[in-house]
Amino acid sequence: MGIGTVDRGQRAVTVERTIPAPAHRLFDLVADPAMHPLIDGSGTVKAVADGAPHRLAPGVRFGMAMRIGTHYRITNTVVEFEEGRLLAWDHMGRARWRYRFEPLDGGRSTRVVETWDYSTAPRWLGLALGVLGFRRRNRRGMERTLERLEAQVTARPEARRTETGA
């Protein structure tokens, strides 16, 4: 439906999109680490690491196979959690990926707000991320992530199973 980009100061980037689906369905997709490679719009999330949980919860750690130039693994920890409404994790650089789900239209649609917040990262890292163009790159990837999230939740169930191999 609609998408918007909002800068939240120098050390955070936020995008939002209104998606015609209930908040709990969207939250469930983001709370499943196995879905992250399918909804990731940056192209950097390649696979969920072995041993990852089936569903995220407060304090849960989960690993992802990544690629930005080279392959690497990253371990994330869920640091903010409110069932159906809020989910955030951070990783080694203390940058935080946050998703907020705000029900609209009596619950028939949802404003999804994704934020990449690196205000808690060391100042030198924030400067490096800016110089390397991560603000712009992440904004584009986040906009595509919300598009892909919408596509997943609005796809026919049989189409979703085919894409995920289920």
Tokens of 143: 């906009």
Kindly tell me if the per-residue pLDDT of 149 is higher than 50. Answer: yes
* Residue written as token pair 């949802």: 110
Give me the mean pLDDT over the 117-138 stretch. Answer: 72
Kindly tell me if the per-residue pLDDT of 131 is higher than 70. Answer: no
| Rounded Cα gap, residues 4 and 71, in angstroms | 31
* % of the chain with per-residue pLDDT over 70: 81
pLDDT tens figures, 60-112: 999 999 998 899 999 999 999 999 999 999 987 788 999 999 999 999 999 99
| Rounded Cα gap, residues 36 and 56, in angstroms | 12
